[in-house]
Amino acid sequence: MKKRVVITGLGVASPNGIGIPEFTHAIKNGISGIRHDTQLQELQFSCQIAGKPQVTEELKSLYFTDLELRGFNSTGILYGIMAGMEAWKNSGLPIENNENPDWDSGTIFGSGTSGIDKFRESIYKIDDLQTRKLGSTVVAQTMNSGISAYLGGKLGLGNQVTSNSSACATGTEAIMMAYDRIQSGLAKRILAGSTSDSGPYIWGGFDALRVCSSKFNDNPQQGSRPMSGTAAGFVPGSGAGALVIEDLESALERGAFIYAEILGGNVNSGGQRGNGSMTAPNSVAVQYCIANAIKNAGIDPSEIDAINGHLTATTKDSLEIENWTKALGLHGNDFPYINSLKSMTGHCLTAAGSIESVAAVLQLHENFIFGNINCEDPHPEITALIDAAKIPLKTIYKEVNIIAKASFGFGDVNACVIFKN
């Protein structure tokens, strides 16, 4: 018999709030974390605004010793540890320094790259014939699984410890990977999430692709405009989100607080066929992903109260809405409410799915649907498909029972998960 899977812990390091209390306040009140970035301006980026978690030295010291911080230069690992450790504590799980690992607990924590600034620092040292000065942690900081390795060590995890990587679908995929492992009985709990480095060496390629917003450099908080008729590209962001995912029996045994249940989901790829490519989604695959997630969850599309979309503020937003309407068979006023966290955080790339999933679960837990800032002028191609009233501009407080969350990434990869209160 397949196990029921629940969420017992949440953690976040987001551009508009570090920690669940600050983040919840921000999304309820439409607070943006997008700011002008001096470094991007100096490097003559077209887009000179970004969303970055505001991490102080004092905050770092809560998660790392002075020795660990010596030579440490990986924002992605930093964000991931902050979010992951918060989720673990939030779940009421102990952090013990036992001799034996916790065989029942693991982590699937994704990333796109790890320690890109550390890579750059290392390259300069090697070129300057200072290889011996690289330090003992350069490999741990730059390997793609650095984040899961760090979390595994800090928490003493003895089950699967790994990092997945599926571009912007990474975080949502990690949740589904954790769900599958727990449902099959291979683990009692998995710390699932994803993280993304900050800075120009991550964001430069997107600026070169001309998919980033460049029209709002003087008005940063207006720059990210998902579903808007005046959307001008995505704003780069970074951070991490984390969820403790656990089998229901284990959660009940230890008296854990349960935020939500994962009913099911789906992960697939469009194979870069049809209208899909390295950078564009295959619409048929997106629709299959959503429809199969709903089928796997055992619900009817009409039961979905809200959708937390991928919706990046590019020309693909209208296509995404069209794909949702076809997959659900719902249009106009029958369509669920829909929102995009990216209006407040920018596009956090590999961290997007996990941060947005935390936001989705918080909406279920506290019965609200956060508003889409900067969408006073919804795109006419979107309002031709769904009522503008389904794109709330401010937070709506109402009973929310089921939310669908989806992410789509480069390489034509898709992930969708169904959360229930």
Mean pLDDT, residues 147-163 taken together: 97
Any residues with CB less than 8 A from the CB of 69 and at least 6 apart, and which? 60, 61
What was the pLDDT predicted at 68? 86
User: Distance between CA 416 and CA 97 in Å, rounded?
Assistant: 36
What was the pLDDT predicted at 378? 98
Mean pLDDT, residues 152-179 taken together: 97
Residue 373 vs residues 30, 32, 129: alpha-carbon distances, Å: 6, 8, 50
What was the pLDDT predicted at 130? 72
The residues with which 240 forms a beta bridge, in sequence order, are 13, 195
What was the pLDDT predicted at 71? 81
Q: How does pLDDT run across 255-307, given as a tens digit for each residue?
A: 999 999 999 999 999 999 999 999 999 999 999 999 999 999 999 999 999 99
Domain with CATH 3.40.47.10 in the chain: 5-260, 264-420
Label residue 77 by pLDDT band (50, 70, 90). very high
DSSP symbol at 399: -
pTM of the model: 0.96
CATH architecture type of domain 264-420: 3-Layer(aba) Sandwich (3.40)
- 5-260 is classed CATH 3.40.47.10: yes
